[in-house]
Every structure is written in C-alpha cells, then in structure tokens.
Amino acid sequence: MSEDGNERVAAESGSYCETAPAGTPERAEGPPYAECVLCRKPTEYAESVKGITLCPVCEWQEAQRAACSG
C-alpha cells in the first residue's frame, strides 16, 4: 500500500490523536503514585509508569532549563 493509502486508512480509522503524545505518561487516577526521581516527592503518575517521573515542580524546572538552553 502506498504511503498516501496508509495515511488515509489511519485517518479513517481515527488512529490520529487517540493516543497521548510520545514520551508523555498518563496521569494516575489515584494512589499509589511514583516518586520524583529528583526530589522523591509524589508525582502525578502511577507507580507502574516506566522511565523518569518528575513531580510538577521538578517537571516545570526541567522545562525552564530546556527552554533556556537553546
């Protein structure tokens, strides 16, 4: 199938915009929460989330650092 055909099928099936953006774990509905890897405070993510989890404060600080490192 051509690339245009794959895009058409994906658009028709609704597979666009149905998943969270890559690298963004889903928020937890309730406890137990994962610990922040920097400050050890509870995050908004479930313990089952794999990878680096940050609390809202550390997440904001990391975003500021990344924005200014340009």
Confidence (pLDDT) at 9? 52
Higher pLDDT, 56 or 28: 56
Query: Has residue 8 got a pLDDT over 60?
Result: no
pLDDT digits (tens, 9 = 90+) for 13-48: 554 444 444 556 677 776 788 899 999 999 988 888
Confidence (pLDDT) at 5? 53
Best-predicted range by mean pLDDT among 6-10, 18-22, 23-27, 51-55? 51-55
- Please tell me the total number of residues recorded for the chain in this structure: 70
- Sequence ranges of the domains in the chain: 25-70
